Amino acid sequence: MNIFEVSNKETVREFITLPIRLYKNEKFWIRPLDKDIESVFDPKRNKTFRNGTCIRWIITGDDGKTIGRIAAFVNKKTTTKDNDQPTGGLGFFECINDQAAANLLFDTGKKWLEEQGMEAMDGPINFGERDKWWGCLVDGFNIEPNYNCNYNFAYYNDLFESYGFQVYFKQFTFGRKVRDPFSDRLMKKGEKIMSDKESGYTFEHLRLKNLDKYTEDFRVVYNKAWARH
């Protein structure tokens, strides 16, 4: 096996197209748009580069075909936040079911992170916000994932844990059918608000002529709720 840094059009293409070959028979896998992947590694489009750096690699088998990929990240804003030691990240991991190949990818990322002063590594994560490319899927393989959420083979968990990774935190995705009835608790709260004429709450269907007002209302509520998070 050989490992190469992604540094030109050819290696970028291999990094992008490897999952297409791996998941060609997986009906629940959603192929990401190429531009959505590449935007993570573009300093002009990813603001995380203001406080960090990243690198990525592919590995090839004896026949020269790409069999794995990985990226490593250092985000200075998060290296010591809630961590006992400086911690970097690994992500965009894809690999055939081969522990030796996976270990070569992990070792390469580990070595680079150590050179950046890191003492631990977290993965699979994204070089950016947690709303994309975050976590290793361990359950729910029969459910179509949300776009930009990781979908991987069940053996990925074994590759990570056999190398030495341990569960840091569990991440859950919840969903509900739009037309399913609301819970009794929520219905009672809604009825209470509707019956209280002095509550100050009103409900109406969206009116196109009021779009500017709705936009400003949303901005105010969102900022008051999330500005300090």
Mean pLDDT, rounded, for 139-159: 92
Mean pLDDT, rounded, for 175-196: 88
Q: Residue 41 sits in which domain range?
A: 2-163
139 to 153, 154, 163, 177: CA distances (angstroms): 10, 8, 20, 20
- In 3D, which of 187, 17, 22 has the Cα closest to residue 98? 22
Residue 206: how many CB atoms within 10 A of its CB?
A: 7
Instruction: Provide the pLDDT confidence category of residue 187 given band limits of 50, 70 and 90.
Output: very high
- Whether pLDDT at 7 is above 90: yes
Mean pLDDT, rounded, for 137-164: 93
What pLDDT is attached to residue 228?
82
Phi, psi of 65 (to 5 degrees): -85, 145
**Is residue 128 a part of any domain in this protein?**
yes
- Whether pLDDT at 25 is above 90: yes
**Is residue 185 a part of any domain in this protein?**
no
What pLDDT is attached to residue 91?
97
Please list, in sequence order, all residues whose beta carbon lies within 8 angstroms of the beta carbon of residue 31, skipping any fewer than 6 positions away. Answer: 19, 20, 23
**Is residue 212 a part of any domain in this protein?**
no
- Whether pLDDT at 199 is above 80: no
**Is residue 219 a part of any domain in this protein?**
no
**Is residue 21 a part of any domain in this protein?**
yes
Average pLDDT, the chain: 93
Mean pLDDT, rounded, for 165-181: 88
**Is residue 111 a part of any domain in this protein?**
yes
pLDDT tens digits, 85-133: 999 999 999 999 999 999 999 999 999 999 999 999 999 999 998 889 9
Instruction: Provide the pLDDT confidence category of residue 188 given band limits of 50, 70 and 90.
Output: very high
**Is residue 97 a part of any domain in this protein?**
yes
- Whether pLDDT at 229 is above 80: no
Q: Give the count of domains, the chain.
A: 1
Query: Which comes out higher in pLDDT, residue 143 or 49?
Result: 49
Tell me the C-alpha distance between 105 and 15, whole Å: 13
The CATH number of residue 141's host domain is 3.40.630
- Whether pLDDT at 10 is above 80: yes
Mean pLDDT, rounded, for 25-46: 94
**Is residue 203 a part of any domain in this protein?**
no
Beta-strand pair 66-75/2-5: unpaired
Contact between 54 and 6 under an 8 Å Cβ cutoff? The reply is no
